[in-house]
Structure 1
């Protein structure tokens, strides 16, 4: 029996307990204290750190104003296991995050924070709860992969370290991981990382970036009975939106990457919020929209941002009203840099070999249109691959679920990949 699979019963109990913690909106502390206690009881040397907002404000992806970075009272925790001569082998990080996005209980068939075991159409066992896919179960998988490796230390020639991380604030830009990238909480170097986000047991070596922009357009108000005396912002916004949509299509053809060929629209642009007008009987005189722009691996945030700023200028120059009343288009929130790890890096090779040994036929790396904490490792010079149980299509959705057989498979593969690196 695989040493990871031997922990199946304990893993189930760990996962059920972790899923019951509501870790939305900065509420990670209680869960992290519980995880830290568990790591200590399992024999790991434990570490804890909390991001400093002023320090994160120096990071190019975070706002310059520390007051806009919700870092306070959000600890990240880790456990370290050492093997043989720790300095003679690599340090491998198995990373997951404990925070989850909010869950609207009215859209769920069950309580989002009460794990429910069920059965898929094909008979496979499933687990439903907020964080089942994204990604408390992935975090738990890392913990028990670390335990399985520690059990194997006596009968295998292993050297190095395994670090199991449960970080805070991933959904808000990677607060815990970014802090650890800026100032390592460990007294040793880190050499490789596996981030156990839901990839459907496919290795992801490239993640997309994004830039968040807030568009403001001014018009002129008037009474609805004399609508022609005003200047509605809506037609102007619609011209800008269509121009951005056209540029999105152009970039899909022009900005190529071999790991993204399966996507018809690899660098999507999304207008997520639009707020316009103040009263049904008044011409809408102002509009604010929030826009997420996809950034390709190999492309900087600034390069993608500049393309959309240039397209906006073209729309403005083509409009007498907008030329006289130019819109603003400014960054807000956290930005995500695109990141990529060499597919021939040792951590990727070890993972693919472990996948092959587990009987998986498709082991070729792919790129994904989302961002992950892997980018913070890459930025710190640490090769990172994203690989874990669950499907991203379940992430952030009501009735979020994961197949338990995928969890066990992922745990076996992650354990084996780390063992191969330590060997």
Structure 2
């Protein structure tokens, strides 16, 4: 195994390698974005920058109502624009990615998460936090735009309109940069469509799932372990609620149907990702907090799914004497994701699928994803948006997050073709 292989020394490989070395967790995107903007300037893009306004985001249903709970300050999003032909007569296409990444616990990694490792065991693999989600894809978008510009300048391709490459901040926190752009267009021109290069395993994703985040609190009664019968243990109550919620998940999997989600064993996943109970090993656990993520199908609303789980919780509480007198609370927290879907006949989807066919994809059929993305914000703003990118979400957020470099190069080629196709369409 070699820590350096040929792709790392290419222009795209070097670009991605440098971008991965910025630790962009915890709202710390600024230095990476400054570097990226300088690169876009050097490549000949017209550049733009914007920063979200927390008070403006607080009016959006995805975000908390209190602006103080939205970490938007000092987190710029940047973009570069190429114009072709007579731009005003043609459409505008956005290639979008995000530069922020989720935290990486270094003790669970075999190397420093922000020191990219290039390995070659027949195929070149790149390992780093953000390799999949989604700095490699940001690089693919930048270089796809450059490739199209080179083709147009050499006469190999024709285009009319604008191609925008975006690197936004705060996607992992609900889409801070994209929401700001969706609410208040940062450009002096309209946007006609977008491709978000999330890790779709090189599939065209036209539907994304929504989520609602809820915090459950159960109140029992603490007691000394030696006389635990004098207390009220919250854990059996939680187990009944947990079981009821997963039963509802199974029921919804049968009753809520969507043709793009038939392949998933659990189409509308429920997850209890965090549970905290009790204060001391020698005391009965008298309080419990659990944080839940509830899946929302395309065509549903966050409010509808929230109401279904609240009703199931009420049924569990009504059947128990203690919970009837001490009802649990179940409140929203964090960011909410509405589902999103666009028609497979949208011009941007046709342009992408034609490009996929031309670049050797065996499967060009539209797909659905069980996660949410910034695409929902653009769809809500009237900008048809499809997801297509390198790598698999099964690697995202994982220790030793890795991507096959051939996928990145393949997506670069397909995005170039998709942009060329779209910019030949009429506005």
Indicate conservation of the 8 Å contact 1:260/1:266, yes or no.
yes
TM-superposed CA distance for 1:223, in Å, is 1.4
Indicate conservation of the 8 Å contact 2:8/2:17, yes or no.
no
Indicate conservation of the 8 Å contact 1:125/1:404, yes or no.
yes
Q: Calculate the aligned-residue CA RMSD, in Å.
A: 1.2
TM-score (norm 2): 0.96
TM-superposed CA distance for 1:8, in Å, is 8.2
Equivalent position of 1:100 in the other structure: 101
Equivalent position of 1:263 in the other structure: 264
TM-superposed CA distance for 1:7, in Å, is 12
Separation of aligned partners in 1, 2:310 and 2:291: 14
Indicate conservation of the 8 Å contact 2:49/2:77, yes or no.
yes
Equivalent position of 1:228 in the other structure: 229
TM-superposed CA distance for 1:152, in Å, is 2.2
Q: How does 1:399-418 map to 2 (within 5 A)?
A: 399-418=400-419
Q: How does 1:233-244 map to 2 (within 5 A)?
A: 233-244=234-245
Provide closer, same or farther for how the CA distance between residues 215 and 7 of structure 1 changes in structure 2, counting only shifts above 3 A.
closer
Separation of aligned partners in 2, 1:37 and 1:119: 31
State the secondary structure of the residue aligned to 2:394: helix
TM-superposed CA distance for 1:311, in Å, is 0.2
Indicate conservation of the 8 Å contact 1:206/1:297, yes or no.
yes
Equivalent position of 2:3 in the other structure: none
Separation of aligned partners in 2, 1:227 and 1:109: 44
State the secondary structure of the residue aligned to 1:393: coil
TM-superposed CA distance for 1:319, in Å, is 0.9
Separation of aligned partners in 1, 2:296 and 2:422: 31
Equivalent position of 1:3 in the other structure: none
Separation of aligned partners in 2, 1:206 and 1:336: 13
TM-superposed CA distance for 1:119, in Å, is 2.2
Q: How many residues align?
A: 416
1:137 aligns with 2:162: no
Equivalent position of 1:329 in the other structure: 330
Indicate conservation of the 8 Å contact 2:158/2:420, yes or no.
no
Indicate conservation of the 8 Å contact 1:208/1:339, yes or no.
yes
| Structure 2 spans left out of the alignment, 5+ residues | 1-6
Structure 1 residue ranges (4+ consecutive) displaced by more than 2 angstroms after TM superposition: none
State the secondary structure of the residue aligned to 2:10: helix
State the secondary structure of the residue aligned to 1:392: coil
1:420 aligns with 2:426: no
TM-score (norm 1): 0.97
TM-superposed CA distance for 1:157, in Å, is 2.9
Separation of aligned partners in 2, 1:119 and 1:399: 15
TM-superposed CA distance for 1:153, in Å, is 2.5
Separation of aligned partners in 2, 1:196 and 1:206: 14
Equivalent position of 2:169 in the other structure: 168
